[in-house]
Amino acid sequence: MTLPEGVERRTFDGESALATRGEPVYGEATDGEWRRWDPSRSKLGAMLEMGLDTGLGAGQTVLYLGAANGTTVSHVADVAGTTYAVEFAPRPARDLVEVAATRPRLIPLLADARRPETYAHVVESGLDFVVQDVATRGQARVATQNARFLDPEGRLVAAIKARSEDVTSDPETVFEAVLDELAGTYEIETTARLEPYHVDHLAVVARPRGGSPTSRSI
């Protein structure tokens, strides 16, 4: 499969790995201006490593939900265009701000992804991508509520964590329930388990269903 423009395979310590071009963030290996994108520290990195077609590409506009301390979103901003990064916890958001300080296209926001009305006055409509990695209950609801930011041709790329929904249920059961709920708003294109990089995580790539997703607020 072809990697998105701006993501390449480079050799680090004799090992081939994904990389993007940008200032190092978390002590990752570098090769010239390229820096290694570690799939075991990044769900999106794992999706690309596994050859999943996310559709992510150069210059696209992105809303990243659950940006944490900016590890993955820094790689996204290396590749994409304007990237809005939403994180709820103050401690990781402190690191995220520093990551964003040297990346003009990365817009950090301390906000709760379950309450899009608290950042819809900043984040623009018609985005190419919503990337979601929130370890909270109600991950399908988060995806549904944030559909309003997507262009009708845009895509949701989500990493669903089974343990955040219900630690006692079988992950497959949890994923089915999440996909069922997502199907109300999105047309699912691809799903894949992220093992061995991330245990009990399901990658989901989906498109908003026809009609204007912005009018479907709950």
Partner 1 sequence: MTDAGWFVGLEPGDVPAAARAIRDGRADEPQDWPRLAVEAGYAPDRESYYERLHEAAISATREAVADRERADDKQLVHAVRAMDDLTETVNELAERAVEWAGSQYGESREGLDYVREVATRRPEQPVEAEIVDLAQSVVDLADRQASIEAFVEGQAAAVAPNLTMLAGPILAARLLALAGGLESLAKKPSGTVQVLGAEDALFAHLQGHAPSPKHGIIYTHEYVRGTRPEERGSAARALAGKLTIAARVDHYSGDRRPELQTALDDRIERIRTRGAEQ
| Contacting residues toward partner 1, per CB under 8 A | 82, 89-91, 93-94, 96-97, 100-101, 104-110, 116-118, 120-126, 148-149, 214, 217
CB of 149 to partner 1, least distance (A): 5
CB of 96 to partner 1, least distance (A): 8
DSSP-H helix ranges across the chain: 43-49, 71-79, 90-101, 139-145, 162-165, 171-182
Query: Nearer Cβ to partner 1, position 39 or 70?
Result: 70
Query: Nearer Cβ to partner 1, position 7 or 96?
Result: 96
Structure tokens at 202: 């399901």
CB of 171 to partner 1, least distance (A): 23
Contact 43, 95 (CB under 8 A): no
Number of C-beta neighbours around residue 51 at 10 A: 10
Rg (CA), the chain: 16
Query: Nearer Cβ to partner 1, position 51 or 59?
Result: 59
Query: Nearer Cβ to partner 1, position 11 or 125?
Result: 125
CA distance 74 to 87: 13
CB of 145 to partner 1, least distance (A): 11
